[in-house]
Structure 1
Amino acid sequence: MRNDFFENNDKLNALEAQYEAQKIAFSPIVFQVARTMRDLNLLEILSKNKNGLTYEELAKESTLSKYAVQVLCETALSANIVSLKDEKVFLTKIGFFINSDKMTITNMNYNHHVNYLGLFYLDEAIKNEKAEGLKVFGDWETIYPALSTLPNDAKKSWFEFDHMYSDSGFKEAIKILKELKPEKILDIGGNTGKFAMLFAQSNPEIEITIMDLPQQIKLAKQNIYEKDIKSISTYEANILLEDTTIPKGFDIIWMSQFLDCFKEEQIVKILEKIYASMDNNSEICIMEPFWDRQNNETAAFCVINTSPYFTAMANGYSKMFKYTDFEKLLKKANLKVVEIIDNIGLCQTIIRCEKISR
């Protein structure tokens, strides 16, 4: 499956195009107005008053001033978040999704708490290929060792965003992996152990090892201890270091939203390291949200627009992939794709790969 999203997207007349350009120019203001209306419960109040409210009534119910309500609502009106009829404010369908849709809420929290301040430095990050925006949180080269020490709102929003997109595919991914009848699985980039724990709880007879940075392994160990799971072990390592080797003896090497954290040349080196650890019966299973393999444009839009986070905040050099670009990296690492499974959870694709004999 390959979808040609965003093609033929230059069919507006000049006046329409100028209006769309202004929407982009003012989008930071619209974003913050929408978030503020959500967080101050204005959208929730409107959702419970189907017959609409005047500015005075909305001010009274929200305990805000009429000035505050009117400023927010007029920008919201321009963005179709609310409508205005007979001097009353009504919540639109767009406003409903901003207020109530889990994906929209998670995306907005993530962009506000994790990305908003740091994206001010996107131009520097683009030029330097360094996460220049991360300075808003501290002196870090990449965000991954910093995750456990981020401010609470940022940490919570980061993990909710990460887990929403990956977790939605976990149940089906576990079923697919189990059908391959492995005895041992290596979960590279296993993060806090969420996938490994879900897998182990339903398949305690299969050994699973989490390989990740020491900071992430520390969190994973705590989670595993609290769940009292015996079939999970851990392996601390920085996969980018030259002397880091991949442990051998695994039937499946599993990576979920891991390789999109690296440069293309790094991805090839990681895959080559994995190749060296594999025997002829081993296989690699990679789960990633490829934007050109989504089943709708909304999903493709969300996936694509995660890439600037990697540039400004995460590491300065990685991105979400188009599958046709990613496939070239697999070939460079002498890996053969034996199956592609789309529509896993919200947006994921699983690629099964085997070694090509050298």
Structure 2
Amino acid sequence: MTDSSALRDKKFSPQKQSAFDARFEAQKLAFGPVVFHCVHYAWKRGVLQALADAGEQGLSTEQLHSQGGWSHYALVVSLESCLSAGVVYLREGRWVLDKMGYCVLTDRITQVNFNFVHDVCYQGLFDLGRSLDAQQPLGLPHLGAWETIYQGLSTLPEPARTSWFEFDHHYSDTSFPDVLPDVFATAPRKLMDIGANTGKFSLAALRYDAQVQLNLVDLPQQLALAQSTLEQADLAQRAQFHPRDMLDDASALPTGMDLVWMSQFLSCFGEAQIASIFKRVAAALAPNGQVLILDTLWDRQRYDIAAYCLINTSPYFTAMASGNSRVYQASDYVRLAEQAGLRLLTLRDGIGYCHSLMRLTKA
């Protein structure tokens, strides 16, 4: 296991930031929500694309207005805000798209994060303070009347549903091809996928190994999506489906598992719930069985950009998802696993965009 102390000791601001610069950064923070919406407008309404099409010569406000689709007023207000954020710049009276603007237009991870914050999180985050105090997702009613967002994933209103799944899959799908050799390194015959979601991992695993038997665990409504995924691929005959609410401490798991897989799952729960899950996972293992956890651990990131995105995903878990979960550090999982009689064997970083893979066994 690599020592992550250097990764944890992060400081996202420049080491020699002046008081004046710090004050400017503080104003960016204060007006951040305003800028967010102005950039979102300019992106979604095609203003940024029009500037991209114009290239380095740019376009004046009058030239943009003549294209139709935006009032003169809307262009001035949104573009001046974009200017303040470095999304565009002014040259001889013409608006020109800057590097950050090209990121918004072309960088997939920027777009996925933007849509997730706007469509899923933004309105509910107004209730973040109350959610933190109550440890309940009090912003969730903006999307639907569920106790947690996981109960409503299959019926989320659009565009929140699309943005949620694109966010979830964009981070996890890039990792699956890399980890399948790890999954089958011990030649497991009985594999359990806890938090099966739409069944993407189970589908990949069944295609990778023709002998493996999959046991999928999730809420009934999510499990129905996973079952449909496997049935469409004609692979459901090697799968068993176990509806479970993992928030129920008394909800036991099927036993005799050679391998238990959890991908971006434990971050959906608070520490007490994770401890309970680990105990039930340990009880589900066959002799010499192992546990694989694929997750986004903010302290294991090589680059600050990844740690920044992950840290600031935690408030979504608070206000919108469950009220008491977050993006964890590696040491949190190790500590909770040890309490359940599990010990860490290996920890591999640098998977996909920002994932780490933990392998555990019974102590």
TM-score in terms of structure 1 length:
0.96
Contact 2:12 2:304 in 1 (8 A): no
Offset at 1:42?
Answer: 1.0
Corresponding residue for residue 238 of structure 1: 245
Q: Deviation string for 1:35-91 (max 9, x for gaps)? A: 111101111111111111111112223531222111111110000000101001111
- The amino acid that maps onto 1:103 is I
**346-355 vs 65-74, which moves further:** 65-74
- Counterpart-to-counterpart distance in 1, 2:223 and 2:122: 28
- Counterpart-to-counterpart distance in 1, 2:144 and 2:185: 44
Partner SS for 1:72: helix
Corresponding residue for residue 90 of structure 2: 84
- Counterpart-to-counterpart distance in 1, 2:231 and 2:279: 33
Partner SS for 1:319: coil
Offset at 1:103?
Answer: 0.3
**266-275 vs 62-71, which moves further:** 62-71
- Counterpart-to-counterpart distance in 2, 1:217 and 1:4: 36
Corresponding residue for residue 11 of structure 2: 7
Corresponding residue for residue 359 of structure 2: 352
Contact 1:191 1:220 in 2 (8 A): yes
Identity, % of aligned positions: 38
Offset at 1:139?
Answer: 2.0
Change in CA separation of 1:180 and 1:320 when aligned onto 2, cut-off 3 Å: same
Matches within 5 A, 1:179-198: 179-198=185-204
Corresponding residue for residue 320 of structure 1: 327
Tell me whether 1:130 sits opposite 2:136 in the alignment: yes
Contact 1:34 1:76 in 2 (8 A): yes
Corresponding residue for residue 164 of structure 2: 158
Matches within 5 A, 1:77-226: 77-226=83-232
Corresponding residue for residue 25 of structure 1: 30
Contact 2:258 2:288 in 1 (8 A): yes
Contact 1:42 1:62 in 2 (8 A): no
Partner SS for 1:12: coil
Offset at 1:178?
Answer: 2.0
Corresponding residue for residue 41 of structure 1: 46
Contact 1:41 1:62 in 2 (8 A): no
Contact 1:165 1:347 in 2 (8 A): yes
- Counterpart-to-counterpart distance in 2, 1:100 and 1:347: 20
- Counterpart-to-counterpart distance in 2, 1:79 and 1:301: 18
**136-145 vs 306-315, which moves further:** 136-145
Q: Deviation string for 1:258-306 (max 9, x for gaps)? A: 1111111111111011112223210000011100111211111111110
Contact 1:126 1:316 in 2 (8 A): yes
Contact 2:334 2:343 in 1 (8 A): no
Contact 1:43 1:91 in 2 (8 A): yes
Offset at 1:333?
Answer: 1.6
Change in CA separation of 1:8 and 1:152 when aligned onto 2, cut-off 3 Å: closer
Q: Deviation string for 1:172-216 (max 9, x for gaps)? A: 111211222111110011111111012212323211111111111
Contact 1:5 1:297 in 2 (8 A): no
Counterpart among 226, 229, 248 of residue 255 in structure 2: 248
Contact 2:249 2:276 in 1 (8 A): no
- The amino acid that maps onto 2:355 is Q
Offset at 1:8?
Answer: 7.4
- The amino acid that maps onto 2:348 is I
Partner SS for 1:48: helix
**23-32 vs 200-209, which moves further:** 200-209
- Counterpart-to-counterpart distance in 2, 1:217 and 1:354: 27
Unmatched runs of 5 consecutive residues or more in structure 1: none
- Counterpart-to-counterpart distance in 2, 1:115 and 1:290: 21
Change in CA separation of 1:43 and 1:254 when aligned onto 2, cut-off 3 Å: same
Partner SS for 2:54: coil
- Counterpart-to-counterpart distance in 2, 1:5 and 1:119: 28
- Counterpart-to-counterpart distance in 2, 1:268 and 1:122: 25
TM-score in terms of structure 2 length:
0.95
- Counterpart-to-counterpart distance in 2, 1:13 and 1:83: 25
Corresponding residue for residue 309 of structure 1: 316
Contact 1:341 1:351 in 2 (8 A): yes
Unmatched runs of 5 consecutive residues or more in structure 2: none
Corresponding residue for residue 332 of structure 1: 339
Tell me whether 1:277 sits opposite 2:284 in the alignment: yes
Q: Deviation string for 1:3-46 (max 9, x for gaps)? A: 14533746422211111111011111111111111101111111
Counterpart among 228, 232, 235 of residue 234 in structure 2: 228
- Counterpart-to-counterpart distance in 1, 2:332 and 2:229: 36
- Counterpart-to-counterpart distance in 2, 1:90 and 1:5: 38
Corresponding residue for residue 271 of structure 2: 264
**216-225 vs 347-356, which moves further:** 216-225
